[in-house]
Chains A and B, each alone.
Chain A
Amino acid sequence: MELRWYHFAAWAAFVVFMFLMPEMVSKGTLRIFIFANFLAVFAISWDVLSGRTGYVSFGHPFLIGIGAYTTAILTKRFDVPVELSIPIAVIVTMIAGLLVVLPALRIKGSYFALITLAYMELIYQLVQVIRPDLTGGTRGMSGLPTLTRGAVNGYYMSLTLMVIVAFCVWLLMRTRIGTALSAIGMNEEAVKGSGLSVTRLKLFAFLLSALIAGLGGAFYVHYLGSIAPRALFDINFVFTIIVAALIGGASTTIGPIIGAFFLTFLLEYLRPYLPGAERYFIYGGVALLLYMYQPKGIYEIINQGWSKVRARS
């Protein structure tokens, strides 16, 4: 729990290494890194809620989508500058998420997962029928303002976002709130029995998760410059987020980042051999094997490896 100098040294080393990446790899690889950075943000967002408290969300694209659509519509249809539209998008995500998920916070287990999944489907349908002049309907929108030009700048932008989100969440989760949220995942009744208002804690986790999802979604559309509903509100996208958090290490901050990078590169390297959706079977298999080997994920495998090295020296 205590912050030590080597924690900050590790963060600094990670940031420096990541910032030197454009010197070391091709533009093509850099573009893969960009997706990995965004996926890491989404996986962290998912983990704050689901990894910690055990309330599994299958609807994170719902939150990401609200953030993405809000800023897309504001900039494209109303000429709102990006500096304003992104904060608005984040707030709208938090509010919309709140209204919709508030009832779901009283529901436990698989029902919560189902309800969140239903919201994602619902918004996918709504986007197409309600005001397609604003949302672009089935075809989505293109020609949105982009924040960066070229792979290198896109990489730096996505990396900065990811590092800031990761560092803030990491700091926050090292405080007692992190302990309390994890405690909910382990035994919700006992948290109540310890005198803590579980609903308020879950609400906090949800709002934080929505904030990060909205932020990630908004930056993502302004990186892409376009938005396509079928790619966004897609069950494969949900699974990619969840699997990234799980195989990296749920209930940690570093785990989802590791998982996001691992998954993105795995999918990318499989692409030449399996161009279609079959790739998802492979990663499902890899995820399952990893999960059976170490349910706490890659982060725990690295941790244990590190302890062994230290014990030997």
Chain B
Amino acid sequence: MSASLKITNLVKKFGGLTATNDLSFTVEPGQSVGLIGPNGAGKTTVFSLVMGEHRQTSGSIMLDGEELSKMTTPARIRRGVSRTYQVPRPFAEMSVAENIRVGLMPDSVFGMILKGPNRDRELELAMAVGFSENDLDRTPAELSMGDLRKLEMARTMATDPKVMLLDEVFAGLTVAEIAMISGLVQKMRSDGMTFLIVSHDLKALEPLVDTAIAINYGSMVAQGSYGDVMSSEAVRASYLGEA
């Protein structure tokens, strides 16, 4: 269930702006890597490139040795990458259960029609992120930011990924909710899930990652153990100085 993610010489240009500048790194199977950098550094762009939501200008993205670059987003998800979104994107008029259901669906029209929803799995995923059974019928309009992030997490898990990309999963969460999601990530790590985690909440991030990568203006500024990265000159200048 774990897989590696290897990014080589990745470049993404938005017109004149280089959002990803010759980035190379590898996340080994079962490893958890923190991706940090100031606002606009290009963290989310890396996620979009891995998922195929944006196409890179050049460079390669490999999942377990297989090149993803030519694949559509659903094909990449089938191979085993999945991400959460910094701004949660729930299906506004659907219940929590139905939101998770969409993530659980097979990518086949007949599969959708012929088999009913897997309610046990829906409940299981909802409970895993901290919902209770009563929450299944609630709609996004009734949910707090914390609940929306949990829902986002559950739908991402529903696609049965081997590599999960988490974009600011702690933003807007209460201390208790942060602890809950952290516990969940820790549990999945011990089950062998590979993680790439973006977070501005460094305190919450630290215990969840094996190593860290710092980027700024799309370029790598430091890489290594979390402590080394945080104490590096470049990071202190670009990141902590700003915060």
Interface on A for B, CB 8 Å cutoff?
A: 1, 172, 175-177, 179-180, 182-183, 186-187, 189-197, 200-201, 204
A182 to B95, CA, bound (A): 12
Determine how close the nearest CB of chain B comes to the CB of A54; give it in whole angstroms.
12
User: Knowing A193-B83, A195-B103 touch, does A179 contact B92 (C-beta < 8 A)?
Assistant: no
Contact of A200 among B83, B85, B109, B116 (CB under 8 A): B109
Q: Verify if B113 is at the interface (C-beta below 8 Å from A).
A: yes
Residue-wise interface mask of B (75-102) relative to A, using a CB-CB cutoff of 8 A (1 in contact, 0 not): 0011000110100011111100010011
Given contacts A175-B113, A197-B74, could you give 4 more A-B pairs where the C-beta distance is less than 8 Å? A177-B109, A196-B74, A197-B72, A200-B109
Which of these, A180, A190, A192, contacts B105 with CB under 8 Å? A180
Contacting residues, chain A, for B89 (C-beta < 8 A): 187, 189-190, 193
Closest CB-CB distance, B89 to chain A, in whole Å?
4
26 pairs, CB–CB < 8 Å, chain A vs chain B: A175-B116, A176-B115, A176-B117, A179-B101, A180-B105, A180-B112, A182-B94, A186-B91, A186-B93, A186-B94, A187-B89, A190-B90, A190-B102, A191-B102, A192-B73, A193-B51, A193-B73, A194-B102, A194-B103, A195-B73, A195-B74, A195-B159, A196-B105, A196-B107, A200-B107, A201-B109
Residues from chain A with a CB closer than 8 A to the CB of B90 are 187, 190
Residues of B within 8 A of A182 (CB): 91, 93-94
Which B residues form the contact surface with A (CB < 8 A)?
51, 53, 72-74, 77-78, 82-83, 85, 89-94, 98, 101-103, 105, 107, 109, 112-117, 155, 158-159
Interface Cβ pair total, 8 Å cutoff: 85
Cβ–Cβ < 8 Å partners of B113 in chain A: 172, 175-177
On whether the beta carbons of A190 and B73 are closer than 8 Å, the reply is no
The answer to whether A187 and B91 have CB atoms under 8 Å apart is: yes
Cα–Cα, bound, A172→B114 (Å): 10
Cα distance A201–B105 in the bound complex, in angstroms? 12
10 nearest CB pairs, A to B: A195-B77, A176-B112, A190-B89, A186-B91, A177-B112, A194-B103, A195-B159, A175-B113, A194-B102, A192-B73
Q: Is B117 a contact of A183 with CB atoms below 8 Å?
A: no
**A193, B94: Cβ atoms closer than 8 Å:** no
Q: In the complex, what's the smallest C-beta–C-beta distance from B167 to chain A, in angstroms? A: 11
- Complex: A204 Cα to B72 Cα, angstroms: 19
Is B117 in contact with A1, judged by CB distance below 8 angstroms? yes
Q: Do A183 and B102 contact each other (CB < 8 Å), given the known contacts A175-B116, A190-B89, A192-B73?
A: yes
Name the distance in Å between B119's Cβ and chain A's nearest Cβ: 9
Chain A residues in 8 Å Cβ range of B109: 177, 200-201, 204
The reply to whether A176 and B116 contact each other, CB–CB distance below 8 Å, is: yes
Chain A min CB distance to B125 (Å) = 13
How distant is the Cα of A42 from the Cα of B137 in the complex, in angstroms? 32
Chain A residue at minimum C-beta to C-beta distance from B114 = A175
Residue on B with the closest CB to A197?
B74
B92 → A minimal CB distance (Å) = 5
B190 to chain A, nearest CB (A): 25
- On chain A, the residues within 8 Å of B103 by CB distance are 194-195
B159–A194 touching, CB < 8 Å: yes
CB of A194 within 8 A of CB of B94, answer no
CA distance A193 to B91 in the complex (A): 12
What B residues does A192 contact at CB under 8 A? 53, 73-74
Q: How far is the CB of A43 from chain B (nearest CB, A)?
A: 20
CB distance from B110 to the nearest CB of A (A): 9
Q: How far is the CA of A204 from the CA of B109 in the complex (A)?
A: 8
Task: Tell me the bound Cα distance from A195 to B80 in angstroms.
Answer: 10
Closest to A172 in B: B113
Q: How far is the CA of A134 from the CA of B77 in the complex (A)?
A: 51
Provide the bound-state CA to CA distance between A145 and B89, in Å.
53
CB distance from A71 to the nearest CB of B (A): 28
User: Do residues B73 and A176 form an inter-chain contact, with CB atoms below 8 A?
Assistant: no
Closest to A201 in B: B109
Q: Tell me which residues across on chain B come within 8 A of A177, comparing CB atoms.
A: 109, 112-113
Q: Closest CB of chain A to B55's CB: distance in Å? A: 14
Q: Which residues of A contact B53 (CB under 8 A)?
A: 189, 192-193
CA distance A197 to B155 in the complex (A): 16
Complex interface: chain B residues within 8 A of A187 (CB): 89-92
B163 to chain A, nearest CB (A): 14
> Which residues on the A side are within 8 Å of B98 (C-beta)?
179
Residues of chain A contacted by B107 (CB below 8 angstroms): 195-197, 200
**CA gap between A286 and B105 in the complex, in Å:** 40
- Assembled-state Cα–Cα distance A189/B181 (Å): 24
How many Å lie between the Cα of A285 and that of B105 in the bound state? 41
Chain A residues contacting B83 (CB-CB under 8 Å) are 193
Bound: A192/B158 CA distance, A = 14
Q: Are B105 and A194 in contact, with the CB atoms below 8 A?
A: yes
